[in-house]
């Protein structure tokens, strides 16, 4: 499984946008809510699971989307299942560890 990532520094914090690679370029719609999983936001490059784990563990701000990504995060103890939101069967989770 590959993950799409974009990382940056924001106010001296490491910020990571990460999603399941197959979501890049998709438009997720539920009712009046539409979310675009754009290459510009999520896809600086693709990484494998080992690197995704390291990035998740070492980032302060994480914006994630996708079943594999959110599942990996929860397995690592990053975030809570109660905080996961779902749009059209796609889970999303945002983490702030400052």
pLDDT score recorded for residue 88: 95
54-66: pLDDT as tens digits: 999 999 999 999 9
Question: Model's pTM, two decimal places?
Answer: 0.93
Q: What average pLDDT does the structure give for the chain?
A: 95
pLDDT score recorded for residue 59: 96
Backbone angles phi, psi at 86, to 5 degrees: -125, 130
Q: Is the pLDDT of residue 98 over 80?
A: no
- Whole domain around residue 13: which residue ranges? 2-96
Q: What pLDDT band is residue 1 in, cutting at 50, 70 and 90?
A: confident
Cα(96)–Cα(80) distance, rounded to whole angstroms? 12
CATH number of the domain to which 81 belongs: 3.30.1860.10
9 within 8 A of 16, measured Cβ to Cβ: no
Domains in the chain, number: 1
């Amino acid at each position: 499984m590959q993950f799409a990532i974009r990382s940056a520094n924001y106010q001296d914090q490491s910020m990571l946008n990460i999603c399941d690679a197959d979501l890049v370029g998709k438009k997720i719609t539920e009712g009046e809510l539409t979310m675009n999983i754009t290459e510009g936001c999520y896809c600086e490059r693709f990484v494998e699971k080992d690197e995704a784990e390291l990035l998740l563990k070492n980032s302060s701000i994480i914006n994630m989307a996708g079943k594999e990504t959110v599942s990996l995060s929860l397995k690592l103890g990053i975030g809570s299942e109660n905080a996961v939101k779902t749009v059209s069967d796609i889970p999303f989770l945002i983490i702030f560890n400052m």
